[in-house]
Structure 1
């Protein structure tokens, strides 16, 4: 199993469907690490995911959905975490069997929850996208009791649709 970890400082805070039991988060293998100050972590996270997927024979079959979901989960960690702003947000991804597992770790205490939106709401649809596009997703406490990680499983797109 391959995994990649990227760490980035959280930007200052701005003005589930099916779940599985929480197992240990994706184990970090010896892998590239990147650290950067805000506000560039979301593009960095997507860049690292693209690099990881480009090295996989069928990585293109996960790319579109995985980039969107990683961006949404990362944005939630940046915008909604109650952790101090000097804490890191960590991303992990790994191919497990034929599913891409995405994880976003943060030191915050809150847990993500789907909430109803109205047509005039300008925000609040990220988890709706995650809920609809991920095969499964959930939230688990981190080992050691500080914070949580939100995970999503991405199924490969049909070969004809991913071309």
Structure 2
């Protein structure tokens, strides 16, 4: 089992590349190299959704990683109760494809409400057993 790791990000555009960098650093520390591009793309899409669509105007959100039994789980926690939905954007649309990508690149994803407020959008990836090397964050 990989020790769960969480980091908080301010709800600003710069948080998207910061979240990607955080996830990449954790994966490197854990010795997880497979599917990194898929994982990082999904992290970007989920973090972007929080930055663009969190109607609560929460000041921050959290990204959490955990892994066990060959499954890597990424969670994005935010203060909004609004559930994201997969859209069908038109060919000329420049937005609306994020969850389509998450759905295609991951081995599963979903949304769970959190008490007393907010939600977790999670995505999972089947991976080989990682080395389990961890760093304190």
**TM-score, structure 2 as length reference:** 0.86
Give RMSD over aligned pairs.
1.4
Greater share of helix = 2
Candidates 3, 15, 39, aligned match of 1:66: 39
Instruction: Quote the Cα distance in structure 1 between the aligned partners of 2:49 and 2:24.
Output: 20
Instruction: Say yes or no: does 1:97 pair with 2:98.
Output: no
Deviation at 1:43, TM superposition (A): 1.4
Residue correspondences, number: 127
Instruction: Quote the Cα distance in structure 1 between the aligned partners of 2:10 and 2:123.
Output: 22
Deviation at 1:125, TM superposition (A): 0.3
Candidates 78, 92, 99, aligned match of 2:51: 78
Q: For residue 46 of structure 1, what is the aligned residue in structure 2?
A: 20
Structure 1 unaligned residues grouped into runs of 5+: 12-38, 158-163
Q: For residue 88 of structure 1, what is the aligned residue in structure 2?
A: 60
Deviation at 1:148, TM superposition (A): 0.3
